[in-house]
Structures are given as structure tokens and as C-alpha cells.
Amino acid sequence: MRQPKKPPTAKPTAWQTVLINLANLLKVKTIVTLAIVFSLCFKTLNGIAITNEFVMIATAVITYYFTKETDKTHKED
């Protein structure tokens, strides 16, 4: 008995790719990272004192975020 043919998978269009990337931005870790980075930039640009605790948290979150992205890239290779 023959296997049914699978329909060919179409490459997503540019618009679909944009929508997928926007959906990925709505992940919680991305929102938290962006909020921390924006608040750090806001405080720096407005001359507001930044506490050491805030800098440590921002550094930890940013390091975690970029390390996870790098690890994921290396595993796919």
C-alpha cells in the first residue's frame, strides 16, 4: 500500500516572518529584559542615581538572555 504524499511546506512570506518575530517578542523573558534595559537607559540619560543592586540585576538578566540565545544557536549547528 502506498503512503499518501505530504503536501510541500511553503516558505513563509516576509509578512508572516515579521508576524512570527513580533509574536516571539511577546515572550515574558523578552519583555522583562527590555523593561530593565529601557529603565537603565532612562535613569542614565536623566541623571538619576542607579543603585548597585539594580545594576547587578540588570547585568544578570542581560547576561542570561544573551547566553541562552547563544547556547541555542550553538546547539542547532
Note the pLDDT tens digit of each residue in 29-74: 778 888 998 999 999 999 999 899 999 998 998 888 778 655 555 5
pLDDT (average), residues 15-23? 86
3-state SS track over the chain: CCCCCCCCCCCCCHHHHHHHHHHHHCCHHHHHHHHHHHHHHHHHHCCCCCCHHHHHHHHHHHHHHHHHHHHHHHHHC
Residue 20 has pLDDT above 90, yes or no: no
Percent of the chain surpassing pLDDT 90 = 17
